[in-house]
Amino acid sequence: MAQPPPKAPELPPEASWPEESPDGVDLTLIQWTLSLTPLERLELLQDWVDGLAELRNGRASER
Amino acid sequence: MDEPRSVRFLGLLRALLRHGVDFFVVGGVAAQLEGAPILTFDLDVLYDKNPENLARLLAALRELKARYRDPAGRHIEPDAEKLATLRLHLLLTELGALDVLGSIGNGLTYHDLVGRTILYQLGESQVHVLELAAVIETKEQANRDKDRAALPVLRQTLAMKARLKPDAKS
């Protein structure tokens, strides 16, 4: 019989959330993204992608 | 076509909206819009396969100069027949990588999931996005390594969203 998918562990109220979940997820990062508007979240993702592209292109030009 | 330096998420969404395509955002960008800090390098969208919508989608893809990401380097463009029959269209456009999907998870289509979307205001654009619980379900169904790797962050985000105050930003 198939096992049910694992559920996220129970979390305490927001004010006392730990920094990391027992399975190693950074909860502070999630709190931060949840504090943003959807447009800000998309802009954040765009910044991450652009930053990595800059690093990649910089590394390529150093070769 | 010059290789794009990186994907332009809003630009891709605006092109689809400009052509009136019936679609919604799924995958990593949907998760990010729902508040999960997930890094992704392409935009995944699920589209309605009705013939009128296929024509609108094809017009948008032509404007974006879309072609399939072909490992052999061949230049293959999407067309109405491929969009109507194939499930996955992994495309490269002048605004970056765009995955146009006829179904996700265990074969779930636009009509199976459109009732589980949220309308987001992104600047001047309104975009339908698959809700996080459904993103998790489809990734559990897909069950690829990359899907399983993302699940702990997605599940924790869903748990934290459920505990946030009602006045919190969506």
The reported pLDDT for the residue numbered A24 is: 87
The reported pLDDT for the residue numbered A4 is: 59
**What's the rounded mean pLDDT across residues B133-137?**
98
Percent of chain A residues topping a pLDDT of 90 = 43
Q: How far is CA B62 from CA B23, B27, B77, in A?
A: 17, 23, 9
A14, A29, A33: best mutation site toward chain B, by most B Cβ within 10 Å? A33
Residue range A11-33, pLDDT digits in tens? 555 556 788 888 889 999 999 99
B3, B6, B14: best mutation site toward chain A, by most A Cβ within 10 Å? B6
Q: How far is CA B5 from CA A43, A53, B61, B119, in A?
A: 16, 7, 19, 29
Residue range B25-66, pLDDT digits in tens? 999 999 999 999 999 999 999 999 999 999 999 999 999 999
**Cβ contacts of A34 on chain B, cutoff 8 Å:** 35, 157, 160-161, 164, 168-169
Cα–Cα dist B103/B28, whole Å: 15
Cα angle, residue B6 at apex, residues B58 and B106 outer, rounded to 5°: 55
On the question of pLDDT at B8 being above 80, the answer is yes
Answer yes or no: pTM beyond 0.90. Answer: no
Q: Identify the residue whose tokens are 């027949």.
A: B81
Two structure tokens written together for A58? 């910089």
**What's the rounded mean pLDDT across residues B129-158?**
95
**What's the rounded mean pLDDT across residues A23-49?**
95
What residues 31-60 of chain A have any CB closer than 8 A to a CB of chain B?
31-39, 41-42, 44-46, 48-50, 52-53, 57
The reported pLDDT for the residue numbered A20 is: 87
A41, A44, A61: best mutation site toward chain B, by most B Cβ within 10 Å? A41
What are the beta bridge partners of residue B129? B25, B118
**What's the rounded mean pLDDT across residues B143-153?**
93
Mean pLDDT rounded to a whole number for chain B: 93
- Residue A58 — very low, low, confident or very high, per pLDDT cuts 50/70/90? confident
The reported pLDDT for the residue numbered B17 is: 98
Q: How many CB pairs under 8 A join A and B?
A: 96
Helix axes of B51-63 and B9-18: crossing angle, nearest 10 degrees: 130
The reported pLDDT for the residue numbered A1 is: 47
The reported pLDDT for the residue numbered A54 is: 87
Contact across the interface for A42 and B10, Cβ inside 8 Å: yes
Contact across the interface for B152 and A21, Cβ inside 8 Å: yes
